[in-house]
């Protein structure tokens, strides 16, 4: 199961402040930074939830994350490109000028494994420009190899989608993991979370299917919801 950039655009709404235009500017900001990378001829991979949508269902996105293969002065190249994009879209990227600004992260790749994975990026039209999106294995390896608040959730969603080669990811983690095997541990936890979420969804699907086959049967979760409503009205 996978989505498109159009699926992402449909979710770019600030539900707290519907009149806030900033979320809807993400595609334009994406086109600007990717256009700069394409024009300069850099090899790169878009990661994060923007790339996750290629392999799983779309979710709200407020960040643009890109890993690129720069020369030895890569840090300066990355900073220059980001400054140019931020200057053009300051009204939507400067925290002093807007609520919940769009965050752009562009960093040089680190290590031979990450550099090699850039070669596997999939080139597709994304938000109207040719973009190199990270493979499912690249995303899962990155989320298990590093630690951040939403990495576990994103990894679990990717695994549940069933499009990633787990054996390949395990091999990559063995190449880059530390002595405590923290990456392998995160992978196992994400697999467990994916199994639990899939089992829960399957159970609900079967309950609904049985209800359609037998009109006299009501799924337990519907009874519980009706009971909760009745209790709230008393």
First to last CA, the chain: 43
The Cα diameter of the chain in Å comes to 70
**170 within domain boundaries:** no
Per-residue pLDDT for 203 more than 70? no
- Which stretches does DSSP call E strand in 134-180? none
Least confident interval from 38-47, 89-98, 201-210, 215-224: 201-210
- Average pLDDT (38-64) is 93
Mean pLDDT for the chain overall: 85
Q: Please report where in the chains the tokens 């009971």 appear, as a residue.
A: 227
Spatial neighbors of 129 by CB under 8 A, at least 6 apart, are 30, 31, 34, 35, 38
- Whole-number pLDDT of residue 195: 78
What are the backbone dihedrals phi and psi of residue 104, each rounded to the nearest 5 degrees, phi first? -115, 125
How do 103-108 and 63-69 pair as beta strands?
A: parallel
Least confident interval from 159-163, 208-212, 230-234: 208-212
Residue 34 pLDDT level (bands cut at 50, 70, 90): very high
**228 within domain boundaries:** no
Token pair for residue 113?
Answer: 């494994």
- Whole-number pLDDT of residue 2: 75
**219 within domain boundaries:** no
- Whole-number pLDDT of residue 14: 92
Domain count, the chain: 1
Spatial neighbors of 134 by CB under 8 A, at least 6 apart, are 45, 46, 47, 51, 67, 117, 121, 122, 142
What are the backbone dihedrals phi and psi of residue 187, each rounded to the nearest 5 degrees, phi first? -65, -45
Residue 57 pLDDT level (bands cut at 50, 70, 90): confident
- Whole-number pLDDT of residue 38: 95
Residue 191 pLDDT level (bands cut at 50, 70, 90): confident
Token pair for residue 156?
Answer: 């679990």
Q: Is the pTM of this model over 0.85?
A: no
- Whole-number pLDDT of residue 232: 64
**30 within domain boundaries:** yes
Domain that holds residue 49: 1-134
- Whole-number pLDDT of residue 76: 85
**208 within domain boundaries:** no
What are the backbone dihedrals phi and psi of residue 63, each rounded to the nearest 5 degrees, phi first? -125, 150
- Whole-number pLDDT of residue 189: 87
In 3D, which of 124, 103, 28, 33 has the Cα closest to residue 61?
Answer: 103
Integer Cα distance of 182 and 84 in angstroms: 37
What are the backbone dihedrals phi and psi of residue 71, each rounded to the nearest 5 degrees, phi first? -80, -175
């Amino acid at each position: 199961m996978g989505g498109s950039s159009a699926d992402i655009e449909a979710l770019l709404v600030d539900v707290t402040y519907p009149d806030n235009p900033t979320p809807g500017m993400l595609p334009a900001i994406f086109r600007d930074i990717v256009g700069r990378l394409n024009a300069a001829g850099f090899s790169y991979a878009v990661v994060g939830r923007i790339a996750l949508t290629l392999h799983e269902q779309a979710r709200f996105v407020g960040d643009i994350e890109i890993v690129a293969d720069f020369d030895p002065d890569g840090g300066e190249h990355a900073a220059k490109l980001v400054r140019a994009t931020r200057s053009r879209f300051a009204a939507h990227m400067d925290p002093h000028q807007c609520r919940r600004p769009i965050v752009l992260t562009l960093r040089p790749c680190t290590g031979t494994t990450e550099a090699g994975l850039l070669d596997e990026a999939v080139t597709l039209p994304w938000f109207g420009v040719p973009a190199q999106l990270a493979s499912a294995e690249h995303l899962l390896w990155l989320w298990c190899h590093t630690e951040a608040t939403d990495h576990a959730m994103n990894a679990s969603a990717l695994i549940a989608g069933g499009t990633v080669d787990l054996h390949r990811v395990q091999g990559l983690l063995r190449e880059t993991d530390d002595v405590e095997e923290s990456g392998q541990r995160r992978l196992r936890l994400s697999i467990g979370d994916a199994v639990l979420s899939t089992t829960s969804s399957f159970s609900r699907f079967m309950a609904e299917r049985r209800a359609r086959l037998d009109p006299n049967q009501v799924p337990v979760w519907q009874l519980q919801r009706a009971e909760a409503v009745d209790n709230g009205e008393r």
